[in-house]
């Protein structure tokens, strides 16, 4: 196994082990469990985006829209008192996959800045559509009546259970993306990213591979949206806005572009800074912004790159 890959796996396992042990080591209060749930859900969404960026070279500014579609599927079904996971989960995954398929079929025909702008446009369309849903809160958002039930039981209301459910989803998301990138499918994606004409010359049309990767990433983001809606017990159009997509992209860059473990580390650091800085000052964004800029300028290769250099 290459040294870089060993480092990725070791760091991922270390973070996952820390999250698994945290409730047992004095961090089992509701505040910490809520914070950890937010970290793990956003980390999973960032991992799915890292799979898309690192594998296919597609930096989407509409990734949060797929996450929002999954969240709104929970809200709409909740409004009609359909809260069992056997209904909510398939509906949310289907909605996120369909949204990704329809938008990706158009967006992936473009490249570079054009792709970014089209995904941004689709994300804003989803945002304004959600804002117009007066029956589900409109601009004010929608508060869930109940969390999603699991075969008729309300296990998700148990914060410790929900913590390990989010951890399990993060592991699943990381495992699926890592497996796909290591497979023949992932090798074709990377070949098409590096040289589309050469990939086509050897018999692999880049478009269907990229579209499938886009749909897979969007579906995983939709599943993250299901958990996020249950974590906050609230859904709002802001979940689909382009700033949320920008945050996910920054988590990927902060951790290490194209490195799945980097996306997890980036999400952890981003959420912790976003949580702790407001305790220092009410003008915390004036500190947060420059810190992010400095990280991009001086941490080439992200956190993974820094840790790898120190290890070397």
Taking 60 as the threshold, does the pLDDT of residue 4 lie above it? no
Highest mean pLDDT among 194-198, 301-305, 307-311: 194-198
Among 277, 279, 281, which Cα is nearest to 291's?
Answer: 277
User: Checking DSSP bridges between strand 142-143 and strand 234-235, what pairing results, if any?
Assistant: antiparallel
Number of domains into which the chain is organized: 1
Distance CA 225, CA 220 (A): 9
**pLDDT tens, residue by residue, 226-259:** 999 999 999 999 889 888 898 898 888 888 877 8
Distance CA 172, CA 226 (A): 15
Please give the structure tokens belonging to residue 55.
């594998």
**pLDDT tens, residue by residue, 141-161:** 999 988 899 888 888 888 999
Distance CA 270, CA 284 (A): 13
CATH number of the domain residue 110 falls in: 1.10.3470
Domain that holds residue 194: 3-311
Distance CA 146, CA 169 (A): 21
Taking the CB of residue 172, how many other CB atoms lie within 10 A of it?
A: 13
Give the distance from CA 245 to its chain's centroid: 9
Give the model's confidence band at 40: pLDDT under 50 very low, under 70 low, under 90 confident, else very high: very high
Kindly tell me the sign of the dihedral angle through the C-alpha atoms of 12, 269, 267, 168: positive
């Amino acid at each position: 196994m290459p040294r870089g890959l060993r480092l990725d796996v070791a760091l991922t396992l270390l973070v996952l082990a820390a999250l698994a042990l945290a409730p047992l080591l004095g961090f089992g209060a509701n505040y910490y469990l809520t914070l950890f749930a937010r970290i793990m859900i956003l980390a999973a969404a960032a991992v799915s985006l890292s799979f898309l960026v690192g594998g296919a070279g597609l930096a989407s500014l509409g990734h949060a829209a797929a996450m929002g579609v999954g969240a709104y599927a929970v809200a709409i079904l909740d409004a009609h008192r359909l809260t069992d996971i056997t209904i909510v989960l398939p509906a949310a995954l289907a909605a996120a996959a369909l949204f990704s398929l329809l938008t990706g079929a158009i967006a992936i025909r473009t490249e570079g800045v054009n792709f970014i702008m089209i995904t941004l446009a689709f994300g804003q369309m989803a945002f304004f559509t959600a804002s117009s849903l007066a029956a589900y809160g409109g601009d004010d958002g929608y508060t869930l009546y109940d969390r999603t039930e699991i075969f008729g039981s309300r296990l998700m209301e148990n914060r410790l259970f929900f913590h390990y459910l989010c951890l399990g989803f993060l592991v699943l998301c990381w495992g699926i993306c890592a497996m796909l990138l290591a497979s023949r499918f992932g090798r074709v994606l990377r070949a098409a990213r590096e040289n589309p004409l050469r990939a086509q010359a050897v018999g692999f049309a880049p478009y269907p591979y990229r579209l499938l990767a886009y749909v897979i990433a969007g579906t995983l983001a939709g599943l993250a949206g299901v958990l996020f809606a249950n974590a906050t017990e609230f859904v709002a159009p802001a979940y689909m806005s382009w700033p949320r997509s920008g945050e996910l992209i920054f988590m990927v860059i902060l951790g290490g572009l194209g490195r799945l473990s980097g996306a997890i580390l980036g999400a952890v650091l981003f959420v912790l800074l976003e949580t702790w800085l407001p305790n220092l000052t009410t003008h915390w964004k004036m500190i947060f912004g420059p810190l992010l800029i400095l990280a991009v300028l001086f941490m080439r290769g992200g956190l993974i790159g820094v840790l790898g250099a120190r290890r070397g």
